[in-house]
């Protein structure tokens, strides 16, 4: 018997990016555990990935290429060989590309976060083909832009340094569920005496463990932050020295927020003015103070500006001075990823004849149905499950149901999207391919070594693009590079932060911390990566884009305050945050996790339930003009009156009615970054 241990990295879309150890016996993975030596992972995996081998060896894994034999969406397929699959795709792509390659659209998101399997050869191949470009907006683009406009890049407080904070605002995130390893450090701060305040319309698993919970109406965080600024300035709780040296636009900001009193924000947010004032004074009077934001608050029409407003707060109080203070949305901007080397946008062939065309992934239903010049004739889906996860789901399904659309899906499982494929290709899991990872929740880079051979005839994303490139007669060497070569070039090793990230060292040890000081207080002495080098309370980026350069109030599109006529018909605000046992729609097809989640549920406040004759367990229909889905009522004061919450993301085919929360979510976009507005969604609820 041969037995060995392989270093791996968790590929999933989660801030924690864990280091893993896989035990392999006679070519079969028999055990997986969190690595002890990477401090952030600390020997533990989450409830999902601890059972990763059930995913890898699931009897539901796709093991062979298949072609569709039933109607679109029916999910009837017949096994074919790789040659037939690749020849079919290449022939269709060639025919379409001869007329206009932009009629071909790649569609991917974060099924794997690996730089090799997620954003390298795929991009090179579609660039070379001249396909439409995809704007990957579905998760974080609004918040990322609001943050960038203020702070300059996705850089913030070192998540390991937070243990010394004395006040922590957990804002729009539920780390107990979606950032478990980060939560360990927040808990340690609590043990050392920090006060934790959670700002979330729902009393989440995290809110329940904090000292205080504030439940604003969804999409109103921007107003709350403006009112906090008003109090900080009116009460002179600002750090004038820090502002003078390291910020621009303080005078204009002070003028802008003069009228944004807690009394102004109270009816917008649904929070008492005194609560807002007390929060601001507490924040202005405690050092060090930390704000841990997450993307939950950027999924509303004003999501970009909300993040921007919050990002101004630590500059006002000078909280950035201390390593444990400041704010953190994402750490990803610390990693010197060699984007142009990985993606090779220069391979795009003919910008004269076919000026690049960009499609926003958050409007994919509308795009498939109405895009012109040219219409989308082929879509290639990998690392994503749009038929379950994209907003305005009925339009999405209608788009994928087009009989004239040539659809390729590369997947590990027969997802809701796979059911619409003409050609369905089997993908490898993380244990079967090589990769290299950055993180958006800590400061370590990780390597992933293949632990086992591909199951069945499964192939990694990269391998399929190499094979397709050859069939299309492309000859650029960049289209045929090995995974190991791509991994070795993933980070820009000339950047001082990349010291220690060379591929050999990474592979040997499995991980390396970025070459950043410890303690790491990124903006203690200013040095913001903005055009001015300062924290931009007045944003040059937004000014250049013709947008309001100052913090402002961008209300939700769908709320009783902003749209009373709509609210008269659909009075309840629906949010659909991550279910604990699912990872977006990943894991949501495997027996263990389906059993733990039970069935689709809708949390509703006792008052709202009583008014509709709803009891615990009542089967419900949740509906608006866009569609309807069913769920069982959970009557609970975890949600505030007027708000309902549907833990997500269920596969349509396992939800009981062929629908999920995205049947009702809106295809509108955020104020910045073209993001999706999943949590900006009015509905009504009745007994089914
Ligand atoms: N178990 C698990 N972990 C995950 C995921 C998963 O699906 N399951 N998803 C991963 C992904 S893709 C991401 S992007 C990350 C981060 O994912 P996030 O979307 O940040 O998810 P959460 O951290 O769960 O935070 C969402 C929280 O925001 C709250 N919320 C909703 N609307 C508002 C609002 O308007 N204002 C405020 N203040 N709060 C609001 C919700 O009630 C919820 O508790 O998590 C990742 N981790
Ligand atoms: N209603 C509602 N909708 C939401 C959200 C919400 O909170 N509420 N959250 C949104 C957010 S934050 C996000 S990030 C998106 C997530 O959207 P997606 O990134 O689409 O995430 P998943 O649903 O996990 O789908 C990823 C798919 O990739 C596949 N995959 C994994 N590894 C590989 C690989 O190596 N190769 C190939 N070819 N495939 C692979 C997996 O099997 C899985 O089916 O959903 C969004 N949708
Ligand atoms: Mo996400």
DSSP output for 385-397: -HHHHSSSHHHHH
**pTM of the prediction?**
0.98
Give how far the C-alpha of residue 106 lies from the chain's centroid of Cα atoms, to the nearest Å.
18
- Least Cα distance to 519 among 229, 235, 160 occurs for 160
Ligand 2 contacts CB of residue 326 (under 6 A): no
Distance CA 392, CA 246 (A): 43
What separation in angstroms does the CA of 549 have from each of 22, 305, 428, 574?
50, 10, 46, 31
Query: What residues are paired with 604 via a beta bridge?
Result: 635, 644
Architecture of the domain whose range is 157-329+522-544 = 3-Layer(aba) Sandwich (3.40)
| Chain centre distance of CA 372 | 29
**Which residue, by CA, sits nearest to atom 4 of ligand 1?**
178
The CA 416 to ligand 3 mean position distance, Å, reads 18
Q: What is the pLDDT of residue 97?
A: 97
Instruction: Enumerate the H helices of 524-621 as residue ranges.
Output: 540-544, 564-569, 591-597, 606-610
Closest CA to 218 of 470, 573, 473, 472: 573
Q: Which residues surround ligand 3, an ion (CB under 5 A)?
A: 139
- Tell me the average confidence (pLDDT) per consecutive run of 10 residues in the chain, 688 residues long: 94 98 98 97 96 98 98 96 98 97 98 98 98 98 98 98 98 96 98 98 98 98 98 98 98 98 98 98 98 97 98 98 98 98 95 94 98 97 98 98 98 98 98 98 97 98 98 98 97 94 87 95 98 98 97 97 97 96 96 96 98 98 98 98 97 96 98 98 97
Q: Of 475, 503, 662, which is closest to residue 575 (Cα–Cα)?
A: 662
- Per CATH, is 564-687 categorized as 1.10.3720.10? no
**What pLDDT is stored for residue 49 in this prediction?**
97
How far away, in angstroms, is 685 Cα from ligand 2 center?
A: 27
Distance 63 CA to ligand 1 centre (A): 33
- The values of phi and psi at residue 294, to 5°, are -135, 180
Q: Tell me, using a 6 A CB cutoff, whether residue 448 lines ligand 2.
A: no
675 lines ligand 2 (CB under 6 A): no
Residue nearest to atom 19 of ligand 1 (CA): 296
- Nearest ligand (C-alpha, residue 15): 1
The C-alpha torsion from 570 through 573 and 576 to 580, rounded to 10°, is -130
Q: Given its phi and psi angles, is residue 326 left (phi above 0), alpha (psi -120 to 50 degrees) or beta?
A: left
Q: What is the pLDDT of residue 402?
A: 98
State the CATH architecture for 66-139+335-513: 3-Layer(aba) Sandwich (3.40)
Question: Which residue is closest in CA terms to ligand 2's atom 31?
Answer: 111
Compute the distance between CA of residue 466 and CA of residue 452 in angstroms, rounded to an integer. 21
Contact between 437 and 448 (Cβ < 8 Å): yes
Residue 351 is predicted with a pLDDT of: 83
The answer to whether domain 66-139+335-513 and domain 564-687 are alike in fold is no
| Beta carbons of 287 and 249 less than 8 angstroms apart | no
Rounded-to-5 percentages of helix, strand, coil across the chain: 35, 20, 45
For residue 542, is the peptide bond before it cis, meaning its omega torsion is within 30 degrees of 0?
no
> Whose CA is closest to atom 37 on ligand 2?
383
| Integer Cα distance of 601 and 511 in angstroms | 39
385 in contact with ligand 2, CB cutoff 6 A = yes
Considering only CA atoms, which of 677, 684, 685, 676 is closest in space to residue 556? Answer: 677
Q: Which residues line ligand 1 (CB under 6 A)?
A: 13-14, 139, 171-174, 177-178, 199-202, 204, 218-219, 221, 294-297, 300, 575, 577-578, 580, 582-584, 679
- The residue ranges of every structural domain in the chain are 66-139+335-513, 157-329+522-544, 564-687
**666 Cβ inside 6 Å of ligand 2:** no
CB of 400 closer than 6 angstroms to any ligand 2 atom: no
Half-sphere exposure of 650 (CA within 13 A, CB side): 27
- Ligand 2 close to Cβ of residue 650 (< 6 A): no
């Amino acid at each position: 018997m041969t037995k060995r241990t392989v270093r791996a990295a968790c590929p999933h879309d989660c801030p924690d990016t864990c280091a893993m150890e896989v035990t392999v016996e006679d070519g079969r993975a028999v055990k997986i555990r969190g690595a002890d030596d990477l401090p952030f992972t600390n020997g533990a995996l989450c409830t999902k990935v601890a059972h990763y081998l059930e995913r890898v060896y699931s009897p539901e894994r796709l093991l062979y290429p298949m072609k569709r034999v039933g109607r679109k969406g029916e999910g009837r397929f017949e096994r074919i060989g790789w040659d037939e699959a690749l020849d079919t795709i290449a022939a269709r792509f060639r025919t379409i590309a001869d007329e206009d390659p932009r009629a071909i659209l790649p569609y991917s998101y974060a099924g794997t976060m690996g730089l090799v399997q997620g954003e390298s050869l795929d991009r090179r191949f579609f660039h070379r083909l001249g396909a439409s470009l995809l704007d990957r907006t579905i998760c974080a683009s609004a918040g990322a832009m609001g943050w960038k406009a203020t702070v300059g890049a996705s850089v913030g407080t070192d998540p390991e340094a937070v243990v010394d904070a004395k006040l922590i605002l957990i804002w729009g995130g539920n780390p107990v569920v979606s950032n478990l390893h980060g939560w360990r450090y927040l808990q340690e701060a609590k043990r050392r005496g920090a006060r934790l305040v959670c700002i979330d319309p729902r009393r989440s698993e995290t809110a329940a463990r904090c000292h205080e919970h504030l439940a604003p109406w969804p999409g109103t965080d921007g107003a709350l932050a403006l009112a906090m600024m008003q109090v900080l300035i009116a009460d002179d709780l600002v750090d004038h020295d820090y502002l003078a040296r390291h910020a621009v636009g303080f005078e204009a900001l002070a003028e802008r927020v003069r009228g944004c009193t807690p009394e102004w924000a109270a009816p917008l947010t649904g929070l008492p003015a005194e609560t807002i004032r007390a929060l601001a004074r507490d924040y202005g009077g405690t050092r060090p103070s930390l704000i841990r934001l997450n993307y939950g608050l950027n999924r509303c029409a004003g999501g970009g500006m909300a993040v921007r407003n919050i990002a101004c707060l630590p500059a006002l109080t000078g909280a950035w001075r201390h390593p444990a203070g400041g704010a953190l949305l994402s750490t990803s901007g610390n990693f010197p990823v060699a984007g142009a080397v990985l993606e090779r946008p220069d391979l795009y062939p003919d910008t004269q004849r076919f000026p690049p065309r960009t499609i926003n992934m958050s409007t994919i239903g509308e795009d498939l149905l109405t895009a012109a010049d040219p219409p989308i004739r082929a879509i290639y889906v990998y690392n994503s499950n749009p038929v379950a996860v994209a907003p305005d789901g009925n339009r999405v399904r209608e788009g994928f149901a087009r009989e004239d659309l040539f659809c390729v899906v590369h997947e590990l499982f027969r997802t809701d999207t796979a059911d619409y494929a003409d050609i369905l290709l089997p993908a490898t899991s993380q244990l079967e391919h090589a990769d290299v990872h950055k993180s958006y929740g800590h400061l370590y880079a990780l390597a992933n070594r293949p632990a086992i051979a591909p199951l069945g005839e499964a192939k990694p994303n990269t391998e399929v693009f190499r094979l397709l490139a050859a069939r299309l007669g492309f000859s650029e060497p960049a289209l045929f590079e090995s995974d190991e070569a791509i991994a070795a070039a993933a980070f820009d090793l000339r950047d001082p932060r990349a010291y220690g990230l060379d591929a050999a060292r990474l592979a040997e040890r499995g991980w390396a911390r970025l070459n950043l000081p410890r303690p790491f207080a990124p903006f203690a002495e200013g040095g913001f990566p903005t055009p001015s080098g300062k924290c931009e309370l007045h944003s040059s980026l937004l000014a250049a884009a013709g947008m309001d350069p100052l913090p402002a109030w961008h209300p939700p599109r769908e709320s009783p305050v902003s749209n009373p006529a709509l609210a008269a018909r659909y009075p309840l605000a629906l949010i659909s945050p991550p279910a604990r046992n699912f990872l977006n729609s990943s894991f949501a097809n495997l027996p263990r996790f389906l059993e733990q989640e039970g069935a689709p549920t809708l949390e509703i406040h006792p008052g709202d339930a009583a008014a509709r004759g709803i009891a615990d367990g009542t089967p419900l229909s949740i509906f608006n003009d866009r569609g309807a889905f069913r769920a069982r009522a959970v009557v609970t004061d975890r949600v505030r009156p007027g708000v309902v919450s549907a833990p997500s993301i269920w596969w349509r085919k396992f939800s009981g009615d062929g629908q999920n929360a995205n049947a009702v979510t809106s295809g509108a976009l955020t104020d910045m970054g073209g993001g999706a507005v999943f949590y900006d969604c009015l509905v009504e609820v009745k007994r089914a």
